[in-house]
Structure 1
Amino acid sequence: MLTPTTFLIGATLPVMSRIYATHGGRVGSDVGRLYLVNTAGAALGCVLTGLVFLRYLGARETIFLGAAINLFVGAGALALMRLARAPLPAAAANGEGEAPGQGDRVTDAAAAPAIGRAAHALPISAGGLRYVAIAYAISGFIALGYEVVWARILYVHSSHAAYSFSLMLTVFLAGLALGGAGGSWVLRRRRATLRHFGAIQLAIGLLAVLILHAFARLPALHLDDWFGGYTVAYEFLIAFVTLFPPTVLLGTLFPVVGSLYTRERAQAVGLRIGRVNAFNTLGAIAGSLGSGFVLVPVLGLRNTTVALAVLNLALGAAALRFDRGGRRALRFAPAGAVVATVVAVAVLPTGFYLGSYYTEVDRLIFYKEGVETTVAVLEVPEDNYKISFVNGRDEVPTDRASMSAFRLLGHLPPLLRPGARNALVLSFGNGIATGTMNTHDIPVIDAVDLSPEMMEAAAVYSEENYNVLDSERLQLHVEDGRNFLLRTEASYDIISVDATHPANASSWALFTSEFYQLIERRLAEDGVFMQWIPIHGVRENDYRDILRTVWDIFPNMVLWSTGSTHSYVVATREPISPVVMQSVLARAAANPTVVRDLGPPEAIAGYVAMAEGDLTRYIGRGPVITDNDAFFMPAR
């Protein structure tokens, strides 16, 4: 679906290069300026979309706005083309009234040949040109590999909000833009050489490893305390401190490569810029896929960074070897960069990315970096306490309040629906709620989670989850929850949802009207739906909107709470009458596991926070949340 649009987007740079870079000897500088304005515009669009447009306009309207800007720019280009081809007045045609030098810039490349003389051509061999093309493709692989790794590490120190990745990407693009500006400025004053390309590659490799030291120092600095938590300003600052320096160097590569590969000859600038940019983009695609799906799971975040840095050093050394006219002092530059990088790697701290505050590596009982998630489990044996961190956020603590929440999620649906034939658990996590539900002998429990690392970590929670991984009734699915609902044709007697916080960019889609409509379609006629709704970190208006959105699909809804920051919606197709509640409490009293986990029946009855009448009054009138306008800002 995206290919036609991205194909056309990719065609704009070579076309604009052909129009704008018309002077031989200034090609690298001119395409660098284009790169500057294009990338700066991308950075502006990224930050506005993440912080403003999605929040106040909605996803669909943001797309319409982008399309309208495209149409406006396209109409402007067509109008300029018509003006450029219009017949000139007689005076202008005779050259009268034109200042010296006016009209040097050709605005319509099709109407006038590009200006460029062989004297401007760079003396670079055919082998050198092939090296530039291959090396720039590998540079694309490295750059996107770094972006994947840096985003994963920064995510550990962010709020995981919808705008978090936008802020990271904005800083990344801003660095590229400034680097393009710097490269363009330098090329106005001197010719590009392979030694420039090589020196930049060596610097990127060394700096990428040094950035790992900056990441390692972030927890000790407690910068979030300065900003009162994970604010937009805080997330922008840590992204700027860590990402901006290396991305500036990455941005300088484009004007240098543009100058080298075109040999500063303007006649073929469109073709050559399009070709070398295609090589770089193909490398970037491979880098994104290879780093995310292969290198990080196999090598880990830190070692993937080191491997990519080695590629930078190799490219730099090869470029300096090709540049035979370089300064003799630069012959030792690769060796110096390698030695400095080796030293920087040797003194790196342990490569565990746990979060902003948690650095107690000696308490780790599980750690794994996967395709999407970095999962760590810490244990405090003297307090009989464990806690999981998923990309730096605590998700499965075993304090008393949290355990009550997991137990209620597991016990209440089977108590409301005795004899259930099957159950669906979305967000398996470390399996405590699922293991609790499994004690009710439900024949089939489908448990879904995006993170196979969390499922693997469930083994260290065997005491808390009642060894659920050993149950033959459990069927695990590594998949997105909504995608599973769309794909399955099964009808479930119980659907339990324990998604992470709605402000989390990976979970907001489990709190919208479209999601609850999917739940309604897959819920059996006499089925029970239960979902955890957090109270902490949620603005009250958002909390009411979530409850109203559930109520819009399931009007027979009751709000439960085990105290602390945990609340739950429990919905059935028929109202939960006093008679039904009495039978639930009777079944609970007869089940020793339920009594041990939740207390006596009167304690369970005390977990009811609002029945239908009170809940309807609390919710009030207002909007329901849809996929188009969902935007949860973390409460401070």
Structure 2
Amino acid sequence: MAEGALARPRVARRVATGWLLPLLVTLFFLSGMSALIYQVLWLRLLALVFGVTIWAASAVLASFMGGLALGSFLAGRLVDRARRPLLWFGVAEGLVGLAALATPGALSAVEWLYTALYPILPPSLGPLTAVRFGLSFAVLVVPATLMGATLPIVVKSSLARGAGLGERVSLLYATNTAGAILGTLLAGFYLVGSIGISASFVLAAAVNGVIALTAIVGSLVLDLDRPDAERATLEWHADEPAARPSVTPRVRRIVLIVFTVSGLTSLAQEVIWFRVLILFQQVTTYAFTIMLASFLAGIAIGSYVVTPLMRRRLDWVWLLAVVELLIGIVSLLSLALLTWIYGGVGQLETLLSQPLAGTLTLAAVASFLVIFPATLLMGIAFPIGLRLWIADDGADSTRTGERIGVFYSLNVVGAILGSILAGFLLLPALGSQLSLTLVSGLSLLGGLLVLTALPRSPQVIGVGAGSVVAFFALALLTPSPFDAVVGYRHTGDQILWRDEGVQTTVTVHQAPNGNRLLLLDGFAQAGDDPGSAAFHRLIGHLPMVLHPEPKEALVIGLGGGVTAGAVAEHSRAHVDVVELSGGVVRGSEWFRHVNADVLHRPNAQLRVDDGRNFLLLTRKRYDVITADLIWPFNAGSGNLYAAEYFQLARNALRDDGIMLQWIGAKSDAQYKLVMRTFLSVFPDATLWFRGGLLVGTKRPLQLSRAAIERHLRDPELREPLRSVGITDFDTLLSMYWTGPDELRQYVGLGPILTDDRPMVEYFLSLPPDEPVADLSGYRREPQRHLAP
């Protein structure tokens, strides 16, 4: 009787703990999903304050990943003392949600502090980057640290379940990464564009709330509080064939070194892959989303593939060595795959009738074929390495959480170093091909280092030597993917100059007809053909002529320098030019024959910075603000079409100042969205030049014949103005299209572009593409704007 009574609680406990692993898998999946949603949102919000320069973005990313490393390390040291790790997992997830919800408020404080500190900082890049890093870390340290804590805690929670440790780690890691894929796709394809950033924060925080509540209740209901000794006996299940693997301290040290370097190589490869792949795709938010999802998919599937093997008695050191060697070889092989993809693009495009479908499909195919094979192997390697690091042949098993924390945090520290190394040193110095070769070589060296932990044998020596020979053969035979994509997209062009800089890849081509093109990440940004150059000049000259006496002008974006050069031809005005990419600045020197040699004119001053960030921080006031042609749907460009950006520009204008904005829309929905947004900030806006240019003023536009004719009589300006069709007062008026009342009637009621909902950049949230509606019925004469 008493014996049966004792058996029933044991059976009940066994049934209860049987639910634990499925519960943890579900919760950790949701945790990964919310974490990647937050990462997308944080990068976007902080870019609004710090700019979209690579320096600012890297400061944000390093801060986020630094928090992950710190959280993993601290939690690993503390979780082994916790009697209810599942309870603490729930608490951590709840705090993540609360900290994330506080982000917008914290960001407002950071923006105020950033703008307050800026005037007293030295003008060099170093102090500014240090401040950006410090403020980014202040915003992200709490939620990122809590996120980093979850892996050691959730694995420790799973120790109350009788499955093999290696299998559990592999399954949980794969599940969390799978959730991250879903979070990436949700944020990138739906949430930001459809419901906005604020609502996305609330949704992700609600997911954290569900995780927290479920984990806390589960901890209490399942009653998983166990003495440490009992928990230790469950770490290696008795019926697991592999039992406790024999791993020497030397092997464990090698594994830790290899996976610290592995973190470095994986993030460095991600940076390089993204830079090369974007040459093949249009630079949209969706392209980056697809590339990130492909990277995560390989890791998730690799971890799932290895999960059932973790219960077997295998030579895990040998297997890890082979996988690491393959990572090095397959990573280098990705360059050859790129060349093959470029050759097959034409055939693939013919199968796709819709341009959008074609763009996204090409992005998915290229990303999957290039990134997935190597990341699949990375996903296989991580659980194996963690298993070997945790196992130590008889040491205290109650330190499992601490060991997981050390392993994961060092892997993340390596990842931080890898992203910085690739973006700031390797790509600018070596270019994409040599950079990927070097980083892949580090992965190969990691595999060779693991081989040294094995007894020397002909098999070990043969595998090591064969891997080295195969790697060097690939390095010598693989063609440049950059040359391949340029040859496909621009057949017959001669490459005059190329710069793979920290911000973007810039090239200058000469077409067979002799015209030059400036390309950013493989797509044309500017050129010297007469039609393109004339339109760029008009964007510079028109606002300068409309203003009676411009003395201070600002140009956002340099491009080929033609717009900035046109503004600078008004020699009585001082011109500030703000350009994001140093490579573009260097590339513009190839267009001195059409850009009025703007960078060498005494009245022009260049600043390499984010244009919106410059407007946020500047205390100058301008008579004219204009911008080079920037497509609104390109990744990061939506920041320059939001109402908040237009408000920053309005604040930087003098009372009689003029802002010119190119609409740059490809569909009716985009066109009306940009126009409606501009009108919300400049209610007296007017439309010019075939409906393509908006002119914003703080008060109703007044056109003074005397002032305009004074510009036209200037001998320095007569020929430049004639080249854009402005020969007299009447030809200028002929460019006028319509006024603010007609514009409001045309666009009607509807949403506007905001930082919270950058719909034009997330264009899948807009109605299907339709041609811009006919504006001829709204055209009016400009008499109402003529000064008396």
Residues 688 and 738 of structure 2 are in contact (CA less than 8 Å); yes or no, is this contact kept in structure 1? yes
Kindly state the Cα deviation for residue 529 of structure 1 after the two structures are TM-superposed. Answer: 0.5
Q: Give, in angstroms, the shift of residue 361 of structure 1.
A: 7.8
Cα offset for 1:603? 4.7
| Residue 130 to residue 558, structure 1, CA distance change in 2 (3 Å) | same
1:396 aligned residue: 526
Alignment partner of 2:178: what SS?
helix
Aligned-residue identity in percent: 29
How far did 1:237 drift? 2.1
1:161 deviates by: 2.0
RMSD of equivalent CA atoms:
2.4
Q: Does structure 1 residue 451 correspond to structure 2 residue 576? A: no
Which secondary structure state, in structure 2, belongs to the residue aligned with residue 113 of structure 1?
helix
Which residue in 1 is equivalent to 2:600? 470
Task: Calculate the TM-score normalised by the size of structure 2.
Answer: 0.73
Letter in structure 1 aligned against 2:168: D
Matched, 1:405 2:528: no
Matches within 5 A, 1:577-588: 577=702, 579-580=703-704, 583-584=707-708, 587-588=711-712
Letter in 2 for 1:594: L
Partner secondary structure for residue 371 of structure 1: coil
Equivalent residue letter for 1:261: W
**Aligned position for 1:592:** 719
* Higher helix proportion (structure 1 or 2): 2
Which residue matches 1:82?
Answer: 220
- Cα offset for 1:480? 0.9
- Does 1:218 pair with 2:341? yes
- Letter aligned with residue 273 of structure 2: W
1:145 matched to which residue of 2? 268
Report whether the alignment pairs 1:3 with 2:3.
no
Matches of 2:457 and 2:558 in 1, distance apart?
60
- Report how far residue 465 of structure 1 moved: 0.3
| 1:11 Cα deviation from its structure 2 partner | 0.7
Instruction: Measure, in 1, the Cα distance between the counterparts of 2:492 and 2:698.
Output: 48
CA distance in 1, matches of 2:166, 2:282: 40
Is the partner of 1:448 in helix, strand or coil?
A: strand
For residue 93 of structure 1, what is the aligned residue in structure 2? Answer: none
- Of 256, 266, 275, the match for 2:406: 275
Determine if contact 2:535/2:724 at 8 Å carries over to the other structure.
no
Secondary structure of the corresponding residue to residue 231 of structure 1: helix
**Whole-angstrom CA distance in 2 between matches of 1:574 and 1:239:** 50
CA 9–616 in structure 1, closer or farther in 2 if over 3 Å, else same:
same
User: Once the two structures are superposed, what CA deviation does each residue of 1:372-405 show, in whole Å capped at 9, x if it has no partner?
Assistant: 200011113x634111111122111333332222
Q: CA offsets per residue over residues 57-97 of structure 1, 9 Å max, x none?
A: 11111111111101110111000111123xxxxxxxxxxxx
Deviations 1:146-197 (A, max 9, x none): 1111111111222222222111111111110000011222222233522211
Q: Is the 8 A contact 1:425 1:448 kept in 2?
A: yes
Q: Which residue of 2 aligns with 1:201?
A: 324
Residue 244, structure 1, aligned to residue 362, structure 2: no
- Please give the residue correspondences for 1:326-341 in structure 2 after superposition, counting only pairs within 5 Å: 328-341=458-471
Q: Counterpart amino acid of 1:154?
A: L
Report the AA paired with residue 370 of structure 1.
Answer: G
Distance in 1 between the 2:328 and 2:493 partners?
Answer: 31
Q: Does the C-alpha gap of structure 1 residues 153 and 585 become closer, same or farther in structure 2, counting only changes over 3 Å? A: farther
Greater shift after overlay, 136-145 or 595-604?
A: 595-604
- The residue that corresponds to 1:103 in the other structure is none
Tell me the secondary structure at the aligned position of residue 272 of structure 1: helix
Distance 1:361 1:28, change over 3 A: farther
Q: 1:436 to 1:418 in 2, by over 3 A?
A: same
Structure 1 window deviating more from structure 2 (109-118 vs 150-159): it is: 109-118
**Closer, same or farther: CA 159–585 of 1 in aligned 2, 3 Å:** farther
Distance 2:419 2:498 in 1: 23
**8 Å contact kept, 2:527–2:560:** no
- Cα 1:505–1:269 change in 2 (3 A) is same
1:386 to 491, 516, 526: 516
TM-score normalised by the chain length of structure 1: 0.90
Asked whether the 8 Å contact 2:165–2:235 carries over to 1, the reply is: no
In the alignment, is the contact (CA less than 8 A) between 1:355 and 1:391 conserved in 2? Answer: no
Equivalent residue pairs, number? 608
Secondary structure class of the residue paired with 1:323 = coil
Q: 1:95 — aligned with what? A: none
Q: Residues 245 and 21 (structure 1 numbering): CA distance in 2 closer, same or farther, change over 3 Å?
A: farther
1:572 maps to which of 670, 676, 697? 697
Deviation at 1:317, TM superposition (A): 0.9
User: Quick check: 1:173 aligned with 2:296?
Assistant: yes
Supply the AA of the counterpart residue of 1:16.
V
Equivalent-residue separation in structure 2 for 1:466 and 1:132 (angstroms) = 59
CA contact (8 A) 1:588 1:595 kept: no
Distance 2:402 2:559 in 1: 51
Looking at structure 2, the residues matched to 582 and 226 of structure 1 have their Cα atoms a distance apart, in angstroms, of 59
Q: What secondary structure is seen at the aligned counterpart in 1 of 2:527?
A: coil
Whole-Å separation in 1 of the counterparts to 2:229 and 2:146: 23
Q: 2:748, 2:577 → 1: CA distance?
A: 34
**1:367-446 aligned within 5 A:** 367-380=498-511, 383-446=513-576
Which string of whole-angstrom CA distances, capped at 9 and with x for unpartnered residues, describes residues 524-550 of structure 1? 111111111214xx3311211111111
- Identify the residue that residue 83 of structure 2 maps to in structure 1: none
Output the amino acid matched with 2:560: N
- Residue equivalent to 1:516: 646
Q: 1:357, 1:501 → 2: CA distance?
A: 23
CA distance in 1, matches of 2:492, 2:446: 36
Aligned counterpart, 2:739: 611
2:436 aligned with 1:305: yes
**The one of 175, 182, 200 aligned to 1:44:** 182
User: How far, CA to CA, are the matches of 1:134 and 1:166 in structure 2?
Assistant: 31
Alignment of 1:104-119 (within 5 A): 113-114=231-232, 115-116=234-235
The code of the aligned residue for 1:331 comes to I
**Aligned partner of 1:422: which letter?**
E
Which of 451, 474, 490 is equivalent to 2:620? 490
Offset of residue 26 of structure 1? 2.2
Name structure 2 gaps, 5 residues minimum: 1-138, 770-788
After superposition, what is the alpha-carbon deviation per residue over 1:561-584, rounded to whole angstroms, capped at 9, x for unaligned? 3x6xx821111223234x536753
Runs of 5+ consecutive residues of structure 1 not aligned to the other structure: 86-105
Which residue pairs with 1:532 in the alignment?
662
Does structure 1 conserve the Cα–Cα contact (< 8 Å) formed by 2:552 and 2:574? yes
- 2:735 & 2:318 partners in 1: Cα distance? 71
Q: What is the letter of the counterpart of residue 186 of structure 1?
A: L
Q: Report whether the alignment pairs 1:285 with 2:416.
A: yes
